[in-house]
Structure 1
Amino acid sequence: MNAEAVDEGVRGRRVLLAGGTSAAGRACASALSDAGAQVLVVGSDDDRLAAVSTEVPGVAVERCDLTDAHAVDALRDRVHAAYGPVDGILHLVGGWRGGGGLAGQSDDDFAFLLRSLTALRHVSRAFDDDIRASDAGRLAIVSSSAVARPIAGGANYAAVKAASEAWVRAVAQGYGKHARDAGHDPAAAAVVFRVKSLDGLEDALAASFVALWDDDAEAWNDVTIDIAAPV
């Protein structure tokens, strides 16, 4: 793949970064914007959203509690009214809590981690029609290598990430079924990115997400991609 081909694939697409005020979100916003996409960053903290606007000029920002289903529905309506339907979503709502072996897997920590899955459910359902109607719809999440190699001290975290991957795979099946039922080639794809840690891999994640528009949906749907630091 060359940069020009990637740029052409995502150029003109409208992409929503859910929980996109982190370093990874800013890297993705910058890469998408540079490639010609229209970028909408959604977060829950006004100061962090303002920082994104300053660091990545031209991106749009929206404040929303993505764990609130009614707020997400209202977000969708605002996005449609202001910008139109979206072609892509990258789910970046996350965070880590753990340690202390199995005994340390507290209910409070589990509730904190579960917010990511709750937000994923709300966002993917609210914008499902958009992604399926797009001629190049893409949904992706950032998961963890802990799903494949869970440890007792990260049981809460691995369990939530595994559930999130299962949700995305179910979404992928829905995209495929929709295409088959309509009698056309798949146009939407749901993808899982796995990392051990995002520290230092923000640009690699951004490049991998942008590249999802460089191939047909069938090449990406229900695919898990490991992103690792260069050897």
Structure 2
Amino acid sequence: MKANIPDSEATLNVLVTGGSGASGIAVAGALHRAGQRVFTVGSDRARIEAAAGRAGDGVTPLVCDLADLAAVQSLRDSVAETAGRMDAVIHLVGGWRGAKGIADQSDADWDFLERGAITTLRNVSRVFYDDLAASGTGRFAMVSSTAVDNPTAATASYVAAKAAAETWTMAMAEGFSRAASSAGGKGAAPWSAAVVLVVKALVDADLRLQHPERKFPGATDVEDLAAAVVGLFSRPAHELNGRRLLLAT
């Protein structure tokens, strides 16, 4: 597939999934201020509309169950009709579940993590992959955890789900590289990139206010995450594709 290379000053269509949370608001707001056309996705209409309002006037809220492939396909068709192809997807859907050890890793927790961390990512990436591959500035980013590098018995389900999501993202990166080689010859630089942003934990201003006694060591502020996402569009795809970028402090 050959890329449609956009003007460097062109406004990009960016989809931010998990847009109702603090990280979604921060990322959507930063992208909007950077001049991009931003669409945020959440499963609850009231929450995603309120979050989009906080992110900035002009951010478009959308409602979708991202764990439902047919719903994601319908979402893509609807957005394409009104705004055209998506140039980027910033996937912020996830969740946390822990336990005491291996024996008490519950099926309910695994189902929750599989749905949030893996199924939503698989659905969104499959549906929007061709859009990203055709964009001259295609970007796909997910947020993972430093825990993947140091798994513990207590976090077994969580790190397994995150590792699976990372592996899928790396497979997308290989797809982008292969498309570039097919179009421009062996070794041609990719024009789209799939990247993993790695944090220990995320923290925001409201969480700091709620817990003034906590220091949140090593945590990444959602505003720093947002700045890192905006920065993905100013770096060449070949510098990013297939990389894990550590944002933990």
Q: With structure 2 as the length reference, what TM-score do the two structures score?
A: 0.86
Q: Whole-Å Cα distance in 2 between the matches of residues 53 and 168 of structure 1?
A: 26
Q: Deviations over 1:170-205 (max 9, x none)?
A: 000000000100115311000001111011410111
Match of 2:208 in 1: none
Q: Please list, as runs of the form range in 1=range in 2, the aligned pairs for 1:140-179 lying within 5 A after superposition.
A: 140-179=141-180
Question: Superposition RMSD on alpha carbons, in Å?
Answer: 1.4
Q: Please list, as runs of the form range in 1=range in 2, the aligned pairs for 1:52-91 lying within 5 A after superposition.
A: 52-55=51-54, 56-91=56-91
- Give the gaps of 5 or more residues in structure 2: 1-6, 205-220
Q: Whole-Å Cα distance in 1 between the matches of residues 10 and 155 of structure 2?
A: 39
Q: Whole-Å Cα distance in 2 between the matches of residues 224 and 10 of structure 1?
A: 27
Q: Whole-Å Cα distance in 1 between the matches of residues 232 and 113 of structure 2?
A: 27
Q: Does 1:186 align with 2:200?
A: no
Question: In structure 1, what residue type is equivalent to 2:157?
Answer: N
Q: Whole-Å Cα distance in 2 between the matches of residues 53 and 87 of structure 1?
A: 19
Tell whether the 8 Å contact from 1:40 to 1:59 is kept in structure 2 after alignment.
yes
The DSSP-based 3-state class of the residue aligned with 1:128 is helix
Q: Aligned pair count?
A: 222
Alpha-carbon distance, 1:136 to partner: 0.6
Alpha-carbon distance, 1:20 to partner: 1.4
Q: Percent identity?
A: 45
Q: With structure 1 as the length reference, what TM-score do the two structures score?
A: 0.93
Q: Please list, as runs of the form range in 1=range in 2, the aligned pairs for 1:178-217 lying within 5 A after superposition.
A: 178-183=179-184, 185-200=189-204, 201-217=221-237
Tell whether the 8 Å contact from 1:88 to 1:139 is kept in structure 2 after alignment.
yes
Match of 2:212 in 1: none
The DSSP-based 3-state class of the residue aligned with 2:16 is strand
Q: Whole-Å Cα distance in 2 between the matches of residues 54 and 61 of structure 1?
A: 9
Question: In structure 1, what residue type is equivalent to 2:174?
Answer: Q
The DSSP-based 3-state class of the residue aligned with 1:103 is coil
Match of 2:29 in 1: 30
Q: Whole-Å Cα distance in 1 between the matches of residues 67 and 236 of structure 2?
A: 31
Tell whether the 8 Å contact from 1:11 to 1:35 is kept in structure 2 after alignment.
no
Question: In structure 1, what residue type is equivalent to 2:104?
Answer: G
Tell whether the 8 Å contact from 2:38 to 2:60 is kept in structure 1 after alignment.
yes
The DSSP-based 3-state class of the residue aligned with 2:85 is coil
The DSSP-based 3-state class of the residue aligned with 1:80 is helix
Tell whether the 8 Å contact from 1:10 to 1:35 is kept in structure 2 after alignment.
no
Match of 2:244 in 1: 224
Tell whether the 8 Å contact from 2:25 to 2:52 is kept in structure 1 after alignment.
no
Tell whether the 8 Å contact from 1:10 to 1:214 is kept in structure 2 after alignment.
no
Alpha-carbon distance, 1:10 to partner: 7.7
Tell whether the 8 Å contact from 1:18 to 1:91 is kept in structure 2 after alignment.
yes
Moved beyond 4 Å, runs of 4+: 8-11
